[in-house]
Amino acid sequence: MSLDSQGVNVNVKMDKDNLYMEESFSDLTSGYIRRLTPVTQDGLPDTTRKTIFIAQTQVMTQGGPLPIQGPIEADSLKDALEKFPDAVNAAIEQLIERSNEMRREEASKIVLPGSEVSSIFTK
């Protein structure tokens, strides 16, 4: 059975002008640094674009491991290694801020009489 017979139309296209070669570096304890090197359609280095570095780790929570990821502003792997802790801390701070925003949004929802939530408490 094919996707077309299911009525599903998958139209996935790669951006040929935005290709990166991905490499991963790890100390096997703290996390990973992903290096995304821009390449041309031929797989050759594209020197007109900047290499991207991304910090990746996980922290343990009551609900289990939580993946953390954030950009590292660096010009080399050596520079990215030095900036790894700051990038992880910044990503965690952003995660906490977003979590607090979501809590505030949830707490600010108004429950009107007659809604499902309020009817639960009147039974």
Query: CA torsion angle for 80, 82, 83, 85 (degrees, to 10)?
Result: 120
Residue 92 contacts residue 59 (beta carbons within 8 Å): yes
More confident residue, 121 or 51: 51
Looking at residue 119, its pLDDT comes to: 46
pLDDT digits (tens, 9 = 90+) for 70-112: 999 999 999 999 999 999 999 999 999 998 998 888 887 766 6
Over 70: is that where the pLDDT of 45 sits?
Answer: yes
More confident residue, 112 or 14: 14
Looking at residue 111, its pLDDT comes to: 67
Query: What percent of the chain is modeled with pLDDT above 70?
Result: 85
Domain locations in the chain as residue ranges: 15-105
Over 70: is that where the pLDDT of 3 sits?
Answer: no
CA distance from start to end of the chain:
50
Give me the residues paired with residue 42 across strands: none
Q: Give the DSSP H/E element, type plus range, for residue 107.
A: helix 77-107
Over 70: is that where the pLDDT of 4 sits?
Answer: no
Please tell me what DSSP assigns to residue 5: G
